[in-house]
Structure formats: structure tokens, C-alpha cells
């Protein structure tokens, strides 16, 4: 089965040779590869191999990435939803990522029921953003309610507890780092 990456090597070599303002004869003299072989390689009539490519890349001052395009993997994340009791976690990052990102849905607290916080601790650092509903966050001595568009970040070694506040469920975006590193956002591009 033909490989499109290999098929593009010849035209890329020709383009780089022309950018360097070299003729086939000049590149031939620099590489000890005949001009006819170079021409066939550029037109795709000769298969590329390392014996040909290494001297050409040296003469043209190229890296392998300059002539063999990188394969860009499909950027979509497989949608995996986990349920722990009534709490829903939709994974928004691959399991191998240093930062784990989830869309979390916490169920509504039944009307008239008072739920006592049960704070937990674990290693890591968490950032969360309320997408919909109202979130009750108990963190150390703080007991706060966050609304849509509000965010919080905290060291998960501080006792913490989360629940929906009000009559409906709460949806939030959460980013968790097991390494305990803080989330750093740039206010403007680095110069």
C-alpha cells in the first residue's frame, strides 16, 4: 500500500533545492549522486532511501522533519463517562495526560434534606469552573457557593467537599493535577 508521506518526499526535496537556488547539477556535485537519479527522485520515479536522502539532506541543510511530514494524530478524545453513585464524570483528556480534565455533574440535593459535609484529602491540585447550576464548596474553614462562571483552585491536601446547592444539579469543568502543580495561564503570548 503506497504511503502518502513517502510520495511527498520527492516534491519536497525539489522545493527545498529550488529554495536554496541549486540546480540538479550543483546538488549532484555536492552529493556525488547523479543528476538523473536526483531528477527521478524528485519526480517520484525513484523510491527514496537513506543512502540517497542523507547526503541530500546534508547538502541542503535539512532535518528529516523538513522532508517527511509529521503524522498528526486525530485530536479528538474518546468520550468516556464514568459514574460514581449519582455523580457523572466525562473524561475530556486522555488518561496519559499530566492534567486530567473532566466535566462533572453533581446531582441536586433533595428538597428539605440537609447534607452534612464530609471533607476528604488527597495529593494533587484542582481547578474548577461552574458551567451550570450552583456549587457548594467546603474548603478548610471556607464554606462558599459558586455560581455559573465562577472558578476556584485549591491544593487537594486541604480538606474539601463539593455538592450541588439549590434546587438543581451542578455541572462543572475540573482540571486535576496529581503532581500538585498549580495551573498556569498566560495573560498574553510570550514574546
Cell of 65: 522533519
Cell of 97: 495526560
Instruction: Answer yes or no: are the C-beta atoms of 98 and 179 closer than 8 Å.
Output: yes
- The CATH architecture that domain 80-177 belongs to is Sandwich (2.60)
pLDDT string in tens for the chain (191-residue length): 567 777 889 999 999 999 999 999 999 999 999 999 999 999 989 999 999 999 999 999 999 888 887 777 888 888 889 999 899 999 999 888 888 999 999 999 877 677 788 999 988 899 999 999 999 999 999 999 999 999 999 999 999 999 999 889 999 999 998 775 555 444 445 45
- For CATH 1.10.260.40, list the domain ranges present in the chain: 4-67
From CA 89, how far away is CA 95, in angstroms rounded? 13
- For CATH 2.60.120.10, list the domain ranges present in the chain: 80-177
A 10 A CB-CB count for 58 gives 11
- Domain 4-67 = CATH 1.10.260.40: yes
Instruction: Answer yes or no: are the C-beta atoms of 160 and 137 closer than 8 Å.
Output: yes
Amino acid at each position: 500500500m503506497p504511503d502518502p508521506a513517502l510520495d511527498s518526499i520527492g516534491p519536497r526535496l525539489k522545493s527545498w533545492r529550488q529554495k536554496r537556488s541549486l540546480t540538479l547539477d550543483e546538488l549532484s556535485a555536492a552529493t556525488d549522486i547523479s543528476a538523473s537519479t536526483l531528477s527521478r527522485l524528485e519526480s517520484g520515479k525513484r523510491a527514496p532511501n537513506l543512502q540517497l536522502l542523507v547526503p541530500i539532506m546534508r547538502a541542503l541543510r535539512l532535518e528529516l522533519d523538513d522532508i517527511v511530514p509529521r503524522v498528526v494524530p486525530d485530536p479528538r478524545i474518546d468520550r468516556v463517562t464514568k459514574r460514581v453513585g449519582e455523580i457523572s464524570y466525562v473524561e475530556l483528556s486522555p488518561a496519559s495526560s499530566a492534567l486530567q480534565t473532566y466535566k462533572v455533574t453533581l446531582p441536586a440535593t433533595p428538597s428539605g434534606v440537609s447534607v452534612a459535609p464530609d471533607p476528604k484529602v488527597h495529593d494533587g491540585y484542582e481547578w474548577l469552573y461552574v458551567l451550570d447550576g450552583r456549587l457548594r464548596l467546603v474548603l478548610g474553614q471556607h464554606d462558599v457557593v459558586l455560581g455559573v462562571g465562577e472558578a476556584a483552585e485549591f491544593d487537594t491536601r486541604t480538606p474539601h467537599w463539593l455538592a450541588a446547592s439549590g434546587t438543581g444539579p451542578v455541572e462543572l469543568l475540573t482540571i486535576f493535577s496529581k503532581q500538585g502543580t498549580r495551573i498556569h495561564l498566560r495573560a498574553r503570548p510570550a514574546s
